[in-house]
Amino acid sequence: MSVRVFVPGDSTACALGADQVAAALVEQARSRGLYIDLVRNGSRGLFWLEPLIEVETAAGRVAYGPVSVADVAELFDRDLLAGGEHPLALGPTEQIPYLQQQTRVNFARAGVIDPLSIADYRRTGGFAGLDRALALSGQQIVDAIKTSGLRGRGGAAFPAGIKWQTVLDTAADQKYIVCNADEGDSGTFADRLLLEADPLQLVEGMTIAGLAVGATRGYIYVRSEYPRAFAVLRAAIALAREDGYLGPDVCGSGRAFELEARLGAGAYICGEETSLLESLEGRRGLVRAKPPLPAIQGLFGKPTVINNVLTLASVAAILARGADWYRALGCGRSLGTLPMQLAGNIRRGGVVELPFGMSLRALIEDFGGGTASGRPVRAVQVGGPLGAYLSADELDLPLDYEAFAAKRAMLGHGGVVVFDDSVDMAEQARFAMEFCVAESCGKCTPCRIGSVRGVEVIDRIRAGTQRADNLLLLKELCDTMEYGSLCAMGGLTPMPVRSAVEKFPEDFGA
């Protein structure tokens, strides 16, 4: 009898040696005359435990981690295939506190299933949302999304249902669904994990979106830095097409939906929706002025729903389990769950999906276990490279869009990058400007030139040259960038810069 053993095929797990561990497991089993059925699942998102292997026992799946090749022989010596005791044993996977204390909606299947098994996906509730959607009118689907309170998870948090309504209401011979999988923010990897661990959820969500607004074609724009995610997604799309979930006749409904994954080319700005559309059309990723909104004139000038990976994936669960179930999670106007990503100098980094409302401190301390270095937390950047730096005494902030906005910070795509007390915040502020120099599309002068001047001004402040004058100049430059840029690149680069200057003046020579 063969025992199922799971070894993640996820990027981070493989960067930590999962492929070699998988090979060693197969080799050890063979040399001992044992049979294993190796499954390359996605990751559970408990990255500090990777490579985390699981064995399916009579009592359910049990986990071991982090496992290195050197541990494999000893694991077999201790009866790995029966869930034997070992210093790396973590017990039943589902009871690992980090996982047990989460409310997983988007990531319920991550690491559980083989990402490229339609049977696994269906068995765990997959395509139930699509089944339901096929029985509804477009307006009924859009109403369900509105009722759910779902807001865009890419960072801007715009109500998804309102965007969809606009596309539904705009008459056109062709409409599109575009998924923004250009997850460029440092400290974020939830989209990547979803694409690698449960890509069919996105396929299902996008198909539902197509049915809702009357779009027959969809594109997923994946960044080129994610080759593994791109490969898994493409394979998933091919499987879905083979089984009739995509194509000219979705599930025998007589309605068409085609999906294609496209690769970005290393431009951060293409995470901005209009720049992404330009790129998909085959041009430089220059941002477009809005209006016209993409919902009215989007891809190839046609009405387009453009949403983030997690937004579109959430749609599958909302249709399957109901809008009221979804909106009962969360708080205030931030409804549902938000997958937060613990990154940087953190002991237990990974994906933590929770209803909105938990405090940032609980996330960093209870889930994350504090810094990896063991030194005190000094600064936390939430929401990617354009997000504000928070100081250690601001961590009681609840994870809620409005609460963050009130503090002149943003939740963004849910990335949390922790820094210990060795960080130089003037260096971080300088980097924010430097990043904008590298990644500005160049359309708006305040962003293109302002960021270059920003680096120079911060260098002068750090050198102590006319400090007061240069601080004032930096403040005015930030205002110019904020008010004079079309998109969030130039408009929000001031956010990390200002927050660093205001909250950590001692690093700027005060």
Partner 1 sequence: MDADTVDSRVAGVLDRLRHLPGALLPILHEIQHELGHVPAAAVPAIAAALNLSRAEVHGVISFYHHFRTAPAGEHVVQLCRAEACQAVGARALEAHVKQRLGVEFGATTADGKVTLEPVYCLGNCACGPSVQVDDQLHARVSPQSFDNLLARLGVTS
- Given the complex with partner 1, which of 138 and 350 has the nearer CB atom? 350
Residue 431 interacting with partner 1 (CB under 8 A)? yes
Residue 126 interacting with partner 1 (CB under 8 A)? no
Q: How many residues bind partner 1 (CB under 8 A)?
A: 61
Residue 111 interacting with partner 1 (CB under 8 A)? no
**Contact indicator for 264, 270 with CB cutoff of 8 Å:** yes
Residue 28 interacting with partner 1 (CB under 8 A)? no
**Contact indicator for 489, 273 with CB cutoff of 8 Å:** no
Q: Which stretch binds partner 1 (CB under 8 A): 73-81, 82-90, 310-318, 424-432?
A: 424-432
Structure tokens at 341: 């990503």
H or E element that contains 64: strand 60-64
Ramachandran class of 244: left when φ > 0, alpha when ψ lies in -120 to 50, beta otherwise: left
Binder to partner 1 among 98, 435, 504, 508 (CB under 8 A)?
Answer: 435
466 contact partners, CB below 8 Å, separation of at least 6 = 460
How far apart, in whole angstroms, are the C-alpha atoms of residue 286 and residue 276? Answer: 9
Tell me the H-state helices in 8-62: 11-15, 18-31
How does DSSP assign 210-236, residue by residue? HHHHT--EEEEEE-TT-HHHHHHHHHH
Binder to partner 1 among 79, 249, 281, 421 (CB under 8 A)?
Answer: 281
16 contact partners, CB below 8 Å, separation of at least 6 = 50, 51, 66
Binder to partner 1 among 82, 162, 238, 265 (CB under 8 A)?
Answer: 265
H or E element that contains 278: helix 273-280
Residue 266 interacting with partner 1 (CB under 8 A)? yes
- Given the complex with partner 1, which of 149 and 271 has the nearer CB atom? 271
H or E element that contains 61: strand 60-64
Residue 285 interacting with partner 1 (CB under 8 A)? yes
Q: How many residues does the chain have?
A: 510
End-to-end alpha carbon distance in the chain: 70
Residue 224 interacting with partner 1 (CB under 8 A)? yes
Residue 177 interacting with partner 1 (CB under 8 A)? no
Q: Which stretch binds partner 1 (CB under 8 A): 57-65, 106-114, 312-320, 435-443?
A: 435-443
Nearest by Cα to 98 from 344, 337, 354:
354
Residue 189 interacting with partner 1 (CB under 8 A)? yes
Binder to partner 1 among 106, 308, 428, 440 (CB under 8 A)?
Answer: 428
Residue 418 interacting with partner 1 (CB under 8 A)? yes
Q: Which stretch binds partner 1 (CB under 8 A): 25-33, 277-285, 305-313, 452-460?
A: 277-285
Residue 406 interacting with partner 1 (CB under 8 A)? no
Q: Closest distance between partner 1 and the C-beta of residue 223, in Å? A: 8
404 contact partners, CB below 8 Å, separation of at least 6 = 382, 383, 397, 410, 411
Residue 120 interacting with partner 1 (CB under 8 A)? no
Residue 15 interacting with partner 1 (CB under 8 A)? yes
What residues from 41 to 100 belong to the interface with partner 1 (CB under 8 A)?
Answer: 47-48, 50
Residue 382 interacting with partner 1 (CB under 8 A)? no
Residue 383 interacting with partner 1 (CB under 8 A)? no
Question: 147-168 burial, b for 16+ CB within 10 Å, e for fewer?
Answer: bbbbbbbbbebebbbebbbbbb
Residue 329 interacting with partner 1 (CB under 8 A)? no
Q: Which residues bind partner 1 (CB under 8 A)?
A: 11-12, 14-16, 47-48, 50, 183-189, 192, 224-227, 229, 262-268, 279-285, 300, 341-346, 349-350, 372-373, 381, 385, 415, 417-420, 423, 427-428, 431, 435, 438-439, 441
